[in-house]
């Protein structure tokens, strides 16, 4: 049979991915290691150690670690509750998390300005109740909140997936063997949900590390993240080499997270 | 007790998720153009929306772009999955590795890399470049949705069809494709949603006279958003809400339907770091 | 192995080929159009449809927020705009880098409506008035809320007053932000002296903890909404904001400020030069110019248009039409690409401080 020839059905996609995934990434590396005249240099990449860039990178890492941690803290109990409390929780879950995506994410982030502003929704309510007002707009907590809001679904969905697959019999067995709920969680639920947690972490960490929109909209232009620096290098300085140099640094983080994901994927299959 | 606590927690998360959406909906009825104060109830923005050519253009572009890119991505992705079934294991895992790149890569790097490609190729930026970029980040969603279904597929039915004398193509369309349909559809829907919500990649690959809703909103954020955009978003949101409601709770079907949502679940899980921002 | 490499190579070429075919087709189709790239909220939309009605020329209209965002798009050449409206210093930069083509002034029959003074001012960045036609002009100053700021505002120094912590809105564009610090220090707004720039940078860094947000056009909405007490803003916004919130007042600080002109220019790679010239001529008509003034409230250099303003207060307003000799005003000039990037880098140092 001519079955083997069927594999050429994948050819269009291969062509596509070579042209639009591989080559563009090679171009980033090419621009990163050349200067304006096209001769080799490492200065675009080593520019990361300048005060502004390293501070932006460190801030981004700090923000995305915090956002990832907070997403996990919020998502994990949510998933446990969903699997135990709600009937038919999977369709409920996809409904509530997919639905917001149909309202533009920039618009949703922007709406937080309205909510958090000094004359905004929350302060309006607080003022009405004669409570002290709180100002976090244009400050780091607002950016963190924006990141948690935007990326929470990427934590909830994988964690939910692995938690909901845990066999109920296992939990009953643990209880029968005398484990208290805390022990059951620590020894049974947590280890079994780890693949979901890991993939959730990589899915939240990368976009919050590289965002420039959230800091733009909720940070009042006062906090410069590495994404902002890159965006400005491209759109304002039109210094593609410098922009590509910093993008190449980001690619390192992305490669690391790909390795982690790949590792856990393989263990999942086992 | 535990259940009650659980419900309270759930409610808090729901408020967190939907507070901005509620805010936008309320603003769409605010007669004051400045979002700073409430000027009274009005439907003007809804009426004005349909004669605002700029917004309607951006809306049409967004929908057309999302539809076309999702469609092309679905065809390419499904073909690729089919082809991969006939490959050696090692080749297949290399391709899957490449497929993972756009999903795990940061949007800003993807956007920048495509921009550099288009600039180097001296292509003038516009609808085509954005379309190609969207197809690129959409294909992985289709593949990651269809591939697992292929794994579960019972191969013997296809072979039985061949043994009974069916042409391979005919056998594929009558035996294999119907089984895949759910996964393909959910891949398409996922692509469509992702394309609709993308900003960063579009931002780097767009050209003159070209705006999607996202890029339009981004430039308006800096000067104050036209409330007609709130109105449009509210309409879109409600339409999808109704659609999902009917798909999920078809009162006239006994068996819980919701095929789309159920399959959405498995494939949403592989959704990875693709957000608008 | 070799064969595989070769096939990868072919794979890579096909998409490039595809996209280049795809776009070359589409860009040559419609000829009776005009691609305009203008500042946000910088024209009465009615004017665009009137032009299309009168001439049958379709307008594709795009907006940008700052000169710095606009420039790379024109420079990259991937974008073929026919008409752009940059500010003075940006025009001289574009002339220097050979991005503009001369306008056929004979075709701009209404050019005589533009006041003599403005043509003369334009000579600073466009010697001989070959490349640009003035569109609007104005100053940069401080907008403050009378209920929140009780003292007399007449100096940039108030933006460094601890009393107004978190009540200050600064401009998020490099030149304007540095202008404020440079003028306060008594330097030229076009300084390239490293010591002066460093001093200005440090001054801006000291100010940062007082600033509520760095924004561009949002100053307007935030000031109207009483979100802040002081904001750095273009004079053109003053009339509109006062109309919306009577507590607001605009001043030109005594240390002086930047006076700017935004003018229409035609990029070198424009494909519809004649349409562009028709549009410029159309905009120079007094009635059209007046419509635009009424809509955007930025000062117009069009003398007969100013006569059409019915409200006497506005026609003689010292905000909209200040007597130029009363203030120490300075226009931006082009600093060159190297100095620009240096300034951008300094600005990032301020922002990351």
pLDDT tens sequence across B210-222 = 889 999 898 888 7
Q: For residue A233, give the nearest of B243, B267, B218, C340 by alpha carbon.
A: C340
Listing DSSP states for A12-24 in one string gives HHHHHHIIIIIHH
Confidence (pLDDT) at A50? 92
Question: Is the same domain home to C252 and C271?
Answer: no
What average pLDDT score do residues C225-234 get?
92
Confidence (pLDDT) at C1? 33
Comparing B197-201, B255-259, C105-109, C290-294, which segment has the lowest mean pLDDT? B255-259
**Distance from C-alpha of A258 to C-alpha of C58, rounded to nearest angstrom:** 48
**Which residues of A fall within a CB distance of 8 Å from B113?**
24-25, 27-28, 247
**Which residues of B fall within a CB distance of 8 Å from C224?**
34, 36
CATH number of the CATH domain containing A192? 1.10.3720.10
Helices (H), chain C: 2-27, 45-55, 67-76, 88-96, 116-122, 174-185, 194-207, 218-224, 235-244, 273-283, 286-296, 303-307, 312-315, 337-351
Confidence (pLDDT) at A32? 95
Confidence (pLDDT) at A266? 61
Question: Is the same domain home to C88 and C230?
Answer: no
Nearest to A52 among C8, C66, C348 (CB): C348
A105 in Cβ contact with A146 (< 8 Å): no
Question: Is the same domain home to C142 and C221?
Answer: yes
Our count of domains for chain C comes to 2
Confidence (pLDDT) at B134? 97
- A208 or A6, greater pLDDT: A208
Q: Which tens digits make up the pLDDT trace of C112-141? A: 999 888 898 888 889 999 999 999 999 999
Percent of chain C with pLDDT over 90: 56
Q: Which chains touch C (3 or more CB pairs under 8 A)?
A: A, B
Q: Is residue C10 part of a domain?
A: no
Determine whether the interchain pair C351/A221 forms a contact, defined as Cβ–Cβ distance below 8 Å: yes
Confidence (pLDDT) at C6? 36
Q: How far is A177 from chain B (nearest CA, A)?
A: 23
**Which residues of C fall within a CB distance of 8 Å from B222?**
40, 65, 215-218
pLDDT band at A247 (very low <50, low <70, confident <90, very high): very high
Q: For residue C94, give the nearest of C104, C84, C103 by alpha carbon.
A: C84
**Which residues of A fall within a CB distance of 8 Å from B269?**
157-158, 160-161
Domains of chain B: 70-224+255-269 (1.10.3720.10)
Nearest to A236 among C69, C214, C226 (CB): C69
Our count of domains for chain A comes to 1
DSSP 3-state of A1? coil
DSSP 3-state of C58? strand
In C, residues 173-232, which contact B (CB 8 Å cutoff)?
215-218, 220-222, 224-227
Q: Which tens digits make up the pLDDT trace of A248-257? A: 999 998 888 7
What average pLDDT score do residues B226-233 get?
91
pLDDT > 80? residue B245: no
Determine whether the interchain pair A235/C226 forms a contact, defined as Cβ–Cβ distance below 8 Å: no
**Which residues of C fall within a CB distance of 8 Å from B112?**
none
Determine whether the interchain pair C208/A237 forms a contact, defined as Cβ–Cβ distance below 8 Å: no
Spell out which chain C residues touch chain A, with contact meaning CB-CB distance below 8 angstroms. 8, 10-16, 66, 68-69, 71-72, 75-76, 166, 172, 208, 211-215, 225-227, 340-341, 344-345, 348-349, 351-352
Q: Is residue C20 part of a domain?
A: no
Residue numbers of the domain that contains A223: 49-269
pLDDT > 80? residue B1: no
Nearest to C78 among B35, B119, B127 (CB): B119
Closest chain A residue by Cα to residue C69: A236
Q: Is residue A3 part of a domain?
A: no
Nearest to C23 among B123, B209, B223 (CB): B123
Confidence (pLDDT) at C30? 54
- C31 or A154, greater pLDDT: A154
Please give the C-alpha separations between residue C32 and each of B126, B212, B246, in angstroms, as whole numbers: 19, 24, 47
What average pLDDT score do residues A239-258 get?
90
pLDDT > 50? residue C323: yes
ipTM for the predicted complex: 0.89
Nearest to A119 among C11, C13, C227 (CB): C227
C296 in Cβ contact with C136 (< 8 Å): yes
**Which residues of C fall within a CB distance of 8 Å from A27?**
none
Q: Is residue C14 part of a domain?
A: no
Q: Which tens digits make up the pLDDT trace of C154-185? A: 999 999 999 999 999 999 989 999 999 999 99
B106 in Cβ contact with A43 (< 8 Å): no
Q: Is residue C64 part of a domain?
A: yes
What average pLDDT score do residues B104-114 get?
92
pLDDT band at B104 (very low <50, low <70, confident <90, very high): confident
A115 at B interface, C-beta within 8 A: yes
pLDDT > 70? residue A26: yes
Nearest to A18 among C11, C211, C227 (CB): C11
- Phi, psi (5° rounding) for residue B69? -65, -40
A227 at B interface, C-beta within 8 A: yes
Q: Which tens digits make up the pLDDT trace of B10-21? A: 999 999 999 999
Determine whether the interchain pair A161/B265 forms a contact, defined as Cβ–Cβ distance below 8 Å: yes
Please give the C-alpha separations between residue A230 and each of A210, A226, C190, in angstroms, as whole numbers: 9, 6, 26
Q: For residue B206, give the nearest of A59, C298, A26, C73 by alpha carbon.
A: C73
Q: Is residue A201 part of a domain?
A: yes
Q: Which tens digits make up the pLDDT trace of A60-72? A: 999 999 999 999 9
**Which residues of A fall within a CB distance of 8 Å from C72?**
234-238
Predicted TM-score (pTM) of the model is 0.84
pLDDT band at B255 (very low <50, low <70, confident <90, very high): very low
Question: Is the same domain home to C225 and C253?
Answer: yes
- C68 or C275, greater pLDDT: C275
Pairing of strands C58-64, C83-84: unpaired
For A10, the enclosing helix (H) or strand (E) is none
Confidence (pLDDT) at C168? 95
Q: How many CB atoms lie within 10 A of CB A270?
A: 4
Determine whether the interchain pair C72/A238 forms a contact, defined as Cβ–Cβ distance below 8 Å: yes
pLDDT > 90? residue A57: yes
Q: Is residue A182 part of a domain?
A: yes
Helices B227-248 and B2-27 pack at an angle, to 10 degrees, of: 140
Confidence (pLDDT) at A253? 86
**Distance from C-alpha of B174 to C-alpha of C110, rounded to nearest angstrom:** 71
**Distance from C-alpha of A121 to C-alpha of A119, rounded to nearest angstrom:** 7
Q: For chain C, give me the number of helices (H) and strands (E)?
A: 14, 12
Q: Which tens digits make up the pLDDT trace of C265-315? A: 999 989 999 999 999 999 999 999 999 998 888 899 999 998 888 888 888
**Which residues of A fall within a CB distance of 8 Å from B143?**
13
- C243 or C153, greater pLDDT: C153
**Distance from C-alpha of A147 to C-alpha of A225, rounded to nearest angstrom:** 13
**Distance from C-alpha of A264 to C-alpha of C250, rounded to nearest angstrom:** 61
Confidence (pLDDT) at C278? 93
What average pLDDT score do residues C234-251 get?
89
Question: Is the same domain home to C116 and C168?
Answer: no
Q: Which chains touch A (3 or more CB pairs under 8 A)?
A: B, C
Closest chain B residue by Cα to residue A239: B116
Confidence (pLDDT) at B46? 94
In B, residues 41-70, which contact A (CB 8 Å cutoff)?
none
B147 in Cβ contact with B108 (< 8 Å): no
Determine whether the interchain pair B222/C62 forms a contact, defined as Cβ–Cβ distance below 8 Å: no
Comparing B149-158, C14-23, C191-200, C311-320, which segment has the lowest mean pLDDT? C14-23
Nearest to A203 among B136, B162, B273 (CB): B273
**Which residues of B fall within a CB distance of 8 Å from C23?**
123-124, 126, 128-129
**Which residues of A fall within a CB distance of 8 Å from C345?**
52
Q: For residue C55, give the nearest of C270, C276, C269 by alpha carbon.
A: C276
CATH number of the CATH domain containing C191? 3.40.190.10
Confidence (pLDDT) at C67? 83
Residue numbers of the domain that contains C79: 29-137+261-321
Confidence (pLDDT) at B251? 52
Question: Is the same domain home to C267 and C133?
Answer: yes
**Which residues of C fall within a CB distance of 8 Å from A117?**
227
Q: For residue A97, give the nearest of B244, B25, B215 by alpha carbon.
A: B244
Question: Is the same domain home to C337 and C240?
Answer: yes
Comparing A184-193, B125-134, C9-18, C300-309, which segment has the lowest mean pLDDT? C9-18
Q: Which tens digits make up the pLDDT trace of B78-87? A: 999 999 888 8
Please give the C-alpha separations between residue A178 and each of A170, A171, A181, A188, A192, in angstroms, as whole numbers: 13, 11, 10, 13, 19
Nearest to C8 among A16, A18, A51 (CB): A18
Which of A98-112, C76-90, C201-215, C297-311 tops mean pLDDT? C201-215
Q: Is residue A7 part of a domain?
A: no
Q: Which residues contact C216 (CB under 8 A, 6 or more apart)?
A: B222, B223, C65, C66, C171, C172, C173
What average pLDDT score do residues A109-123 get?
88
């Amino acid at each position: 049979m001519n079955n083997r020839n069927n594999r050429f059905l994948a050819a269009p996609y291969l062509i596509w991915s070579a042209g639009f995934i591989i080559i563009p990434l090679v171009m980033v590396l090419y621009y990163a290691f050349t200067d304006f005249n096209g001769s080799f240099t490492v200065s675009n990449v080593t520019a990361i150690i300048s005060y502004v860039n390293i501070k932006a990178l460190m801030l981004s890492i700090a923000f995305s670690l915090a956002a990832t941690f907070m997403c996990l803290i919020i998502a994990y109990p949510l998933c446990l509750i969903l699997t135990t409390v709600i009937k038919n929780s999977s369709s409920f879950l996809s409904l509530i998390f997919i639905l917001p995506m149909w309202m533009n994410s920039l618009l949703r982030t922007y709406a937080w300005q309205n909510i958090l502003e000094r004359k905004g929704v929350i302060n309006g309510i607080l003022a009405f109740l004669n409570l002290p007002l709180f100002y976090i707009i244009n400050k780091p907590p607002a950016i963190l909140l924006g990141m948690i809001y935007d990326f929470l679904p990427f934590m909830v969905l994988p964690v939910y997936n692995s938690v909901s697959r845990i066999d109920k019999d296992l939990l009953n067995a643990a209880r029968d063997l005398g484990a208290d709920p805390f022990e059951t969680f620590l020894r049974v639920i947590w280890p079994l949900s780890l693949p979901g947690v890991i993939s959730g972490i990589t899915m939240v960490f990368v976009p919050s590390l590289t965002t420039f929109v959230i800091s733009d909209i909720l940070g009042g232009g006062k906090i410069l993240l590495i994404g902002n620096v890159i965006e400005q290098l491209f759109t304002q300085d039109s210094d593609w080499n410098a922009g590509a140099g910093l993008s190449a640094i980001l690619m390192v983080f992305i490669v690391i997270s790909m390795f982690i994901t790949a590792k856990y994927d393989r263990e999942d299959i086992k | 007790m535990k259940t009650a606590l659980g419900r309270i927690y759930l409610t808090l998360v729901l408020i967190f998720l939907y507070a901005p959406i509620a805010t936008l909906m309320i603003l769409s009825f605010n007669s004051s153009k400045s979002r700073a104060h409430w000027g009274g109830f009005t439907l003007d923005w809804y009426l004005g929306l349909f004669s605002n050519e700029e917004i309607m253009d951006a809306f049409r572009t967004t929908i057309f772009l999302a539809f076309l890119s999702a469609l092309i991505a679905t065809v390419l992705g499904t073909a690729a999955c089919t082809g991969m079934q006939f490959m050696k294991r090692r080749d297949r895992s290399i391709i899957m590795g490449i497929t993972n790149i756009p999903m795990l890569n940061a949007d800003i790097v993807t956007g920048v890399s495509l921009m550099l490609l288009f600039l180097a190729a001296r292509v003038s930026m516009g609808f085509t470049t954005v379309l190609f970029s969207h197809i690129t980040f959409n294909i992985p969603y289709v593949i990651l949705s269809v591939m697992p279904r292929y794994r579960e597929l019972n191969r013997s039915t296809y072979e039985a069809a061949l043994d009974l004398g069916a042409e391979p193509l005919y056998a594929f369309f009558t035996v294999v494709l119907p089984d895949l349909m759910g996964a393909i559809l959910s891949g398409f829907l996922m692509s469509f949603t992702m394309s609709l919500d993308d900003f960063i990649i579009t931002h780097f690959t767009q050209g003159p006279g070209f705006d999607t809703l996202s890029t339009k909103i981004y430039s308006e954020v800096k000067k104050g958003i036209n409330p007609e955009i709130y109105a449009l978003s509210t309409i879109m949101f409600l339409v999808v809400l109704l659609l999902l409601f009917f798909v999920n709770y078809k009162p006239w079907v006994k068996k819980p339907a919701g095929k789309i949502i159920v399959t959405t679940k498995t494939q949403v899980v592989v959704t990875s770091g693709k957000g608008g921002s | 192995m070799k064969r595989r490499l070769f096939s990868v190579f072919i794979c890579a070429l096909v998409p490039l080929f595809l996209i280049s075919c795809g776009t070359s087709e589409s860009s040559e189709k419609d000829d009776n159009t005009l691609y305009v790239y203008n500042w946000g909220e910088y024209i009465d939309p009615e004017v665009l449809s009137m032009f299309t009605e009168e001439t049958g020329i379709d307008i594709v209209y795009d907006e940008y927020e700052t000169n710095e965002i606009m420039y790379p798009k024109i420079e990259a050449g991937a974008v073929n705009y026919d008409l752009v409206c940059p500010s003075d210093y940006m025009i001289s930069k574009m002339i220097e880098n050979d991005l503009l083509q001369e306008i056929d002034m004979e075709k701009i029959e209404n050019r005589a409506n533009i006041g003599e003074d403005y043509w003369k001012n334009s000579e600073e960045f466009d010697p001989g008035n070959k490349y640009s036609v003035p569109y609007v002009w104005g100053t940069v100053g401080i907008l403050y809320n009378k209920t929140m700021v009780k003292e007399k505002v007449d100096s940039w120094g108030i933006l460094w007053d601890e009393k107004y912590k978190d009540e200050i809105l600064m401009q998020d564009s490099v030149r304007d932000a540095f202008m404020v610090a440079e003028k306060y220090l008594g330097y030229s707004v076009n300084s390239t002296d490293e010591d002066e720039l460093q001093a200005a940078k440090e001054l801006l860094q000291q100010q940062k903890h007082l600033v509520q947000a760095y924004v561009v056009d949002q100053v307007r909405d935030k000031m109207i909404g009483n979100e802040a007490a002081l904001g750095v803003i273009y004079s053109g916004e003053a009339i509109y904001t006062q109309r919306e919130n009577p507590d607001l007042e605009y001043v030109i600080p005594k240390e002086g400020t930047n006076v700017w002109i935004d003018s229409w220019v035609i990029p070198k790679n424009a494909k519809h030069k004649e349409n562009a010239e028709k549009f410029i001529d159309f905009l120079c008509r007094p009635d059209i110019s007046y419509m635009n003034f009424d809509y955007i409230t930025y000062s117009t250099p069009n003398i007969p248009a100013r006569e059409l303003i019915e409200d006497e207060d506005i026609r003689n307003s010292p905000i909209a039409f200040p007597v130029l000799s009363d203030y120490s005003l300075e226009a931006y000039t082009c600093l060159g690409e190297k100095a620009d990037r240096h300034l951008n880098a300094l600005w990032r140092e301020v922002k990351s401080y």
